[in-house]
A and B are shown apart, each in its own frame.
Chain A
Amino acid sequence: MGKQVLLIEDEPNIIEAIRFILSRDGWDVRTHSNGQDAFEAARARLPDVIILDVMLPGKSGFDILTEIRADPALADTPVLMLTARGQKKDREMAERAGASQYMTKPFSNAEILETVRQMVVP
Chain B
Amino acid sequence: MATLNILVLVCLSYVVLLFVVAFAADRAALRGRGKWLRSPIIYTLSLSIYCTAWTFYGAVGFAARSGLEFVTIYLGPTLVMIGWWWALRKMVRVGRSQRITSIADLISSRFGKSNTLAVFVTLLAVIGTTPYIALQLQSVTLSFAAFAETGPDVGEAINREVTAFWLALGLALFTILFGTRNLDANERHHGVVMAIALEAVVKLFALLAVGVFVVWGLSGGVSETLARIDASNIARWDVSASRWVGLTALSAAAFLCLPRMFQVMVVENEDEDHLRTAAWAFPAYLMLMSLFVVPIAVVGLDLLEGTNPDLFVLSLPLSQGQDGLAILSFLGGFSSATSMVIVAAIALSTMVSNHIVMPIWLNMTGGNAVMSGDVRQVALLARRLSIAGVVLLGYLYFRISGGGTALAKIGLVSFAGVAQFLPALLGGLFWRGATRAGAMAGLVIGSLVWLYSLFLPSFGTGTILSDAIMHDGLWGLSWLRPQALFGSEGMDPLVHAVMWSMLLNTAGFITVSLLSFPKPIERLQGAQFVNVYDHSPTTGGWTGGLAQTEDLLIMAQRIMGSTQAQAFFASAAGRQGIGGYLPEPSPDFLQSLERELSGSVGAAAAHAMVGQIVGGASVSVEDLMAVADETAQIMEYSSKLEAKSTELTRTARQLREANEKLTQLSRQKDAFLSQVSHELRTPMTSIRAFSEILRDADGLQAEEAGKYASVIHDEAIRLTRLLDDLLDLSVLENGQVSLNVQTGTLGDLLDRAEAAAGGNSGELEVRRQRGDEGIMLSTDLDRLAQVFINLIANARKYCDAKTPVLTIESRLSGEMLLVDFIDNGTGIPTDKQTVIFEKFSRIGDTKAGGAGLGLAICREIMGRLGGRVTYLPGQSGAAFRVSLPVEQRVAAQ
- Residues of chain A with a CB closer than 8 A to B305's CB: none
Interface size on B, residues (CB 8 A): 23
B674 near A87: Cβ-Cβ < 8 Å: yes
B434 vs chain A, min Cβ distance (A):
71
B678 near A107: Cβ-Cβ < 8 Å: no
A94 vs chain B, min Cβ distance (A):
14
Q: Which of A21-49 contact B (CB under 8 A)?
A: 21, 24
- Residues of chain B with a CB closer than 8 A to A24's CB: 697
- Residues of chain A with a CB closer than 8 A to B686's CB: 11, 13-14, 16-17
A109 near B682: Cβ-Cβ < 8 Å: no
Minimal Cβ-Cβ distance residue in A for B698: A24
Contact of B696 among A87, A104, A109 (CB under 8 A): A109
- Residues of chain B with a CB closer than 8 A to A14's CB: 682, 685-686, 689
B693 near A20: Cβ-Cβ < 8 Å: yes
B845 near A10: Cβ-Cβ < 8 Å: yes
A84 near B696: Cβ-Cβ < 8 Å: no
- Residues of chain A with a CB closer than 8 A to B715's CB: 13
Question: Max chain A CB contacts within 10 Å: which of B679, B682, B683?
Answer: B682
Is B669 on the interface with A (CB-CB < 8 A)? no
Is B684 on the interface with A (CB-CB < 8 A)? yes
Is B711 on the interface with A (CB-CB < 8 A)? yes
B681 near A11: Cβ-Cβ < 8 Å: no
B690 near A55: Cβ-Cβ < 8 Å: no
- Residues of chain A with a CB closer than 8 A to B697's CB: 20, 24
B717 vs chain A, min Cβ distance (A):
13
Q: Which of B660-693 contact A (CB under 8 A)?
A: 674, 677-679, 681-690, 692-693
In the complex, A108 Cα to B107 Cα: how many Å? 101
A109 near B693: Cβ-Cβ < 8 Å: yes
- Residues of chain A with a CB closer than 8 A to B740's CB: none
In the complex, A120 Cα to B672 Cα: how many Å? 37
B678 near A85: Cβ-Cβ < 8 Å: yes
Chain B window 700-731, contacts with chain A (Cβ cutoff 8 Å), 1 for yes, 0 for no? 00000000000100010000000000000000
- Residues of chain A with a CB closer than 8 A to B683's CB: 13
A108 near B682: Cβ-Cβ < 8 Å: no
Minimal Cβ-Cβ distance residue in A for B687: A106
Is A119 on the interface with B (CB-CB < 8 A)? no
B891 vs chain A, min Cβ distance (A):
46
B832 vs chain A, min Cβ distance (A):
14
- Residues of chain B with a CB closer than 8 A to A20's CB: 693, 697
B689 near A85: Cβ-Cβ < 8 Å: no
In the complex, A17 Cα to B683 Cα: how many Å? 12
Is B487 on the interface with A (CB-CB < 8 A)? no
Contact of B693 among A17, A55, A84, A85 (CB under 8 A): A17
A85 near B677: Cβ-Cβ < 8 Å: yes
Chain A window 83-118, contacts with chain B (Cβ cutoff 8 Å), 1 for yes, 0 for no? 011110000000000000000111111100000000
- Residues of chain A with a CB closer than 8 A to B678's CB: 55, 84-85
A109 near B845: Cβ-Cβ < 8 Å: no
Is B844 on the interface with A (CB-CB < 8 A)? yes
In the complex, A33 Cα to B695 Cα: how many Å? 27
Contact of B692 among A13, A16, A104, A108 (CB under 8 A): A108
Contact A21 to B845, CB < 8 A, known contacts A106-B681, A106-B684, A107-B685: no
A57 near B844: Cβ-Cβ < 8 Å: yes
Contact of A11 among B674, B682, B692, B844 (CB under 8 A): B682
User: Contact residue range for chain A?
Assistant: 20 to 34
A84 near B682: Cβ-Cβ < 8 Å: yes
Is B846 on the interface with A (CB-CB < 8 A)? yes
B684 near A105: Cβ-Cβ < 8 Å: yes
- Residues of chain B with a CB closer than 8 A to A10's CB: 845-846
In the complex, A84 Cα to B689 Cα: how many Å? 14
In the complex, A110 Cα to B692 Cα: how many Å? 9
Minimal Cβ-Cβ distance residue in B for A107: B685
Minimal Cβ-Cβ distance residue in A for B714: A13
Contact of B677 among A17, A57, A86 (CB under 8 A): A86
- Residues of chain B with a CB closer than 8 A to A57's CB: 844-846
A90 vs chain B, min Cβ distance (A):
8
In the complex, A24 Cα to B715 Cα: how many Å? 23
- Residues of chain B with a CB closer than 8 A to A16's CB: 686, 711
Minimal Cβ-Cβ distance residue in B for A90: B674
In the complex, A10 Cα to B687 Cα: how many Å? 16
Contact A21 to B844, CB < 8 A, known contacts A13-B715, A84-B677: no
- Residues of chain A with a CB closer than 8 A to B844's CB: 57
Contact A105 to B845, CB < 8 A, known contacts A20-B693, A24-B697: no
In the complex, A55 Cα to B682 Cα: how many Å? 11
Q: Which of A1-18 contact B (CB under 8 A)?
A: 10-11, 13-14, 16-18
- Residues of chain A with a CB closer than 8 A to B677's CB: 84-87
- Residues of chain A with a CB closer than 8 A to B688's CB: 106-108
B684 near A13: Cβ-Cβ < 8 Å: no
Contact A105 to B711, CB < 8 A, known contacts A20-B693, A57-B845, A87-B677: no
Contact A109 to B846, CB < 8 A, known contacts A14-B686, A16-B711, A84-B682: no
- Residues of chain B with a CB closer than 8 A to A110's CB: 692
- Residues of chain B with a CB closer than 8 A to A13's CB: 683, 686, 689-690, 711, 715
Question: Max chain B CB contacts within 10 Å: which of A14, A20, A24, A84?
Answer: A84
B846 near A106: Cβ-Cβ < 8 Å: no
Minimal Cβ-Cβ distance residue in B for A57: B845
- Residues of chain B with a CB closer than 8 A to A106's CB: 681, 684-685, 687-689
- Residues of chain A with a CB closer than 8 A to B681's CB: 84-86, 104-106
- Residues of chain A with a CB closer than 8 A to B687's CB: 106
In the complex, A48 Cα to B687 Cα: how many Å? 28
In the complex, A107 Cα to B692 Cα: how many Å? 10
Question: Max chain B CB contacts within 10 Å: which of A13, A84, A104, A109?
Answer: A13
Minimal Cβ-Cβ distance residue in B for A20: B693
B778 vs chain A, min Cβ distance (A):
43
In the complex, A40 Cα to B655 Cα: how many Å? 49
- Residues of chain A with a CB closer than 8 A to B690's CB: 13, 17
In the complex, A92 Cα to B690 Cα: how many Å? 29
Minimal Cβ-Cβ distance residue in A for B684: A106
In the complex, A18 Cα to B685 Cα: how many Å? 10
In the complex, A87 Cα to B846 Cα: how many Å? 22
In the complex, A89 Cα to B712 Cα: how many Å? 30
In the complex, A108 Cα to B690 Cα: how many Å? 10
Minimal Cβ-Cβ distance residue in B for A82: B685
Minimal Cβ-Cβ distance residue in A for B715: A13
A55 vs chain B, min Cβ distance (A):
6
A18 vs chain B, min Cβ distance (A):
7
- Residues of chain A with a CB closer than 8 A to B845's CB: 10, 57
In the complex, A20 Cα to B685 Cα: how many Å? 14
- Residues of chain B with a CB closer than 8 A to A85's CB: 674, 677-678, 681
Chain B window 842-858, contacts with chain A (Cβ cutoff 8 Å), 1 for yes, 0 for no? 00111000000000000
A38 vs chain B, min Cβ distance (A):
14
Minimal Cβ-Cβ distance residue in A for B712: A13
In the complex, A17 Cα to B712 Cα: how many Å? 11
B692 near A105: Cβ-Cβ < 8 Å: no
B401 vs chain A, min Cβ distance (A):
100
Q: Which of B833-876 contact A (CB under 8 A)?
A: 844-846
B692 near A84: Cβ-Cβ < 8 Å: no
Shortest Cβ-Cβ A-B pairs, 7 listed: A17-B689, A13-B686, A84-B681, A106-B685, A105-B685, A106-B688, A84-B678
Seed contacts A57-B844, A105-B681, A106-B688; 9 additional CB < 8 Å A-B pairs: A20-B693, A21-B689, A84-B682, A85-B674, A87-B674, A105-B682, A108-B688, A108-B692, A109-B693
Task: List 20 interface pairs A-B (beta carbons < 8 Å), by A numbering.
Answer: A10-B845, A11-B685, A13-B683, A13-B686, A13-B690, A13-B711, A14-B689, A16-B711, A17-B685, A17-B693, A84-B678, A85-B681, A86-B677, A87-B674, A87-B677, A105-B681, A106-B687, A107-B689, A108-B692, A110-B692
